């Protein structure tokens, strides 16, 4: 009896939260496999190295997650990254590190504001608008860089970002801070409004949600986060090249979608994006440790992403069906009396509950005829 009760509790928990366990389960299985296959994988230095390597794209993915929840995209984050590393390196060389960082942060907010204005005020589709602005930012990066990469004249920024107090690099701490900001924002009233707007813009508007403002702010945050990612990237490569950020948009979207954020909006969480990014980072690192050919690593990563998303979809369908069955089983019942017949118990809301048997028989006869 106790075992049955415990089993029912497990089923109840899975029924409520099972759809959230698919991708973390895939991540856990891969970590276990890599821990067995390579003794180096689970060493603290390697795990910190993974977190440090994926820190720029993790920062970008936080903004992309908020945008996807609201039902929008930002394909310009790669262009913001390219412009950021080039312009930031030039400003640092001429005006100093502190001024360069402030200028980069302002540039990110400005780029995000422009994207938000075009999408929410002008009314251009976010996919088209940010694709266009992304080309603009990338073009400006090539114009500023000329024909050669921009090299930092000082090591102040690289030394600060790669500094590792307690063994954890500052770049990792920055990514954790951005994750905390995104998580906090998603828990505010404005953050909750993102889900309403992403699920149904018109219904949210009729409910009194300021749709334009709610949709605008994530663009600003995404631009700001992309600028922060470019600061970390400048420190990593010691300067700026206009090719930086080419893969940022698709990697950020992949991390969010792999984690379970709906690409159509209104569903997902910041935690989901973090898990998705962790899976991508772990797989990339694992493939290197296993000695997989570099040309095949992208292929394997793509397969893992598809399998993770497929598992997530499978879990969602399975446990959505289970939840629907629970609702049907727990619906209140009511006694419906029919003419000439004793009352009978039916589920509340049953379409045929109040139809007398004689009328049903007549309808059935007509249908047969």
171 pLDDT exceeds 60?
yes
In DSSP terms, 334 is beta-bridged to 346
For residue 141, what is the enclosing H or E element?
A: helix 126-145
Please write the tens of the pLDDT for every residue from 235-260: 999 988 888 888 899 889 888 888 87
Torsion 270-98-85-133 (CA) sign? positive
Look at residue 228 and tell me whether its pLDDT is greater than 60: yes
pLDDT for the residue 322? 55
Q: Minimal CA–CA distance to 88: which of 157, 136, 139?
A: 157
- The whole-number average pLDDT for the span 190-214 is 91
Least confidently predicted of 78-82, 146-150, 233-237, 301-305: 301-305
Residue 10, pLDDT > 60, answer: no
Q: With pLDDT > 90 as the criterion, what percentage of the chain qualifies? A: 41
Task: Summarize the confidence of residues 286-305 as an average pLDDT.
Answer: 80
Band (350; pLDDT cuts 50, 70, 90): very low
Q: Which of 5-9, 57-61, 141-145, 179-183 has the lowest mean pLDDT?
A: 5-9
SS3 (DSSP) at 369: coil
Q: Average pLDDT in the 162-171 region?
A: 85
Note the pLDDT of residue 154: 86
Q: What angle do the packed helices 170-187 and 211-237 form, to 10 degrees?
A: 170
Structure tokens at 222: 């995404």
> Phi and psi dihedrals of 334, rounded to 5?
-140, 155
pLDDT at 360 over 60: no
How confident is the model at residue 314, as a pLDDT? 67
In angstroms, rounded to a whole number, what is the distance separating the alpha carbons of residues 213 and 235?
34
Could you tell me the sign of the dihedral formed by the alpha carbons of 158, 164, 170, 172, in that order? positive
DSSP string, 60-85: HHHHHHHHHHTT---TTHHHHHHHHH
CA quadruple 32, 37, 42, 47: dihedral sign: negative
In Å, what is the CA distance from 223 to each residue of 51, 54, 142, 173, 228? 22, 18, 19, 20, 9
Average pLDDT over residues 197-219: 92
In this model, does residue 5 exceed pLDDT 70?
no
Distance CA 254, CA 270 (A): 14
Q: What pLDDT shows up at residue 259?
A: 80
Cβ-based neighbours of 164, under 8 Å, separated by 6 or more: 48, 170
Inform me whether the pLDDT recorded for 349 exceeds 70. no
- The answer on pLDDT for 25 being more than 50 is yes
What pLDDT shows up at residue 168? 86
The mean pLDDT value for 333-349 works out to 46
Mean pLDDT score of the chain: 81
Cβ-count burial of 208 within 10 angstroms (0-12 exposed, 13-18 middle, 19+ buried)?
exposed
> Does the pLDDT at position 6 exceed 80?
no
- In the structure, what pLDDT confidence band is assigned to residue 297 with cuts at 50, 70 and 90? confident
Q: Please list, in sequence order, all residues whose beta carbon lies within 8 angstroms of the beta carbon of residue 18, skipping any fewer than 6 positions away.
A: 315, 318, 319, 322
Q: 277 versus 6: which is more confidently predicted?
A: 277
pTM assigned to the model: 0.80
The band of 328, judged by pLDDT with boundaries at 50, 70 and 90, is low
Q: What is the set of domains in the chain, with CATH numbers?
A: 2-324 (1.10.3470), 334-368 (no CATH)
Which pLDDT band, with edges at 50, 70 and 90, does 2 fall under? low
Q: For 124-146, write each residue's pLDDT tens digit.
A: 999 999 999 999 999 999 999 88
**pLDDT at 55 (0 to 100):** 93
**Pairwise CA distance, residues 364 & 369, whole Å:** 9
**What pLDDT shows up at residue 8?**
56
* Confidence at residue 315, expressed as pLDDT on a 0 to 100 scale: 63
H-helix or E-strand containing 345? strand 344-347
């Amino acid at each position: 009896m106790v075992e049955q009760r415990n089993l029912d509790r497990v089923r109840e928990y899975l029924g409520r939260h099972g759809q959230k366990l698919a991708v973390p389960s895939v991540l856990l299985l891969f970590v276990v496999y890599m821990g067995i296959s390579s003794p180096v994988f689970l060493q603290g230095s390697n795990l910190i190295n993974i977190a440090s390597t994926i820190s720029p794209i993790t920062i970008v993915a936080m903004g992309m997650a908020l945008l996807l929840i609201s039902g929008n995209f930002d394909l310009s984050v790669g262009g913001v990254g390219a412009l950021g590393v080039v312009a930031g390196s030039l400003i640092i060389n001429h005006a100093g590190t502190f001024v360069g960082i402030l200028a980069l942060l302002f540039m990110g907010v400005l780029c995000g504001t422009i994207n938000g204005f075009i999408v929410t005020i002008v009314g251009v589709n976010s996919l088209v608008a940010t694709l266009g602005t992304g080309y603009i930012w990338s073009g400006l990066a090539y114009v500023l860089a000329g024909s050669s990469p921009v090299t930092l004249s000082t090591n102040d920024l690289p030394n600060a970002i790669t500094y590792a107090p307690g063994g954890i690099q500052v770049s990792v701490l920055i990514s954790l801070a951005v994750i905390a900001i995104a998580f906090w924002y998603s828990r505010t009233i404005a953050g909750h409004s993102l889900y309403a707007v992403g699920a149904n813009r018109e219904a949210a508007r009729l409910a009194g949600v300021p749709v334009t403002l709610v949709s605008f702010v994530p663009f600003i945050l995404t631009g700001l986060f992309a600028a922060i990612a470019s600061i970390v990237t400048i420190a990593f490569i010691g300067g700026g090249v206009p090719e930086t950020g080419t893969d940022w948009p698709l990697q950020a979207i992949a991390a969010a979608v792999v984690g379970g954020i709906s690409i159509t909006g209104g569903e997902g969480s910041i935690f989901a994006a973090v898990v998705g990014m962790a899976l991508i980072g772990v797989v990339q690192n694992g493939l290197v440790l296993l000695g997989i050919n570099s040309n095949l690593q992208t292929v394997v990563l793509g397969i893992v992403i598809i399998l993770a998303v497929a598992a997530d979809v499978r879990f969602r369908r399975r446990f959505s069906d289970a939840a629907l069955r629970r609702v049907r089983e727990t619906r209140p019942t009511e006694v419906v009396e029919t003419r000439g017949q004793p009352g009978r118990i039916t589920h509340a809301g049953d379409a045929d509950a109040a139809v007398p048997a004689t009328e049903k028989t007549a309808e059935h006869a007509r249908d047969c005829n």
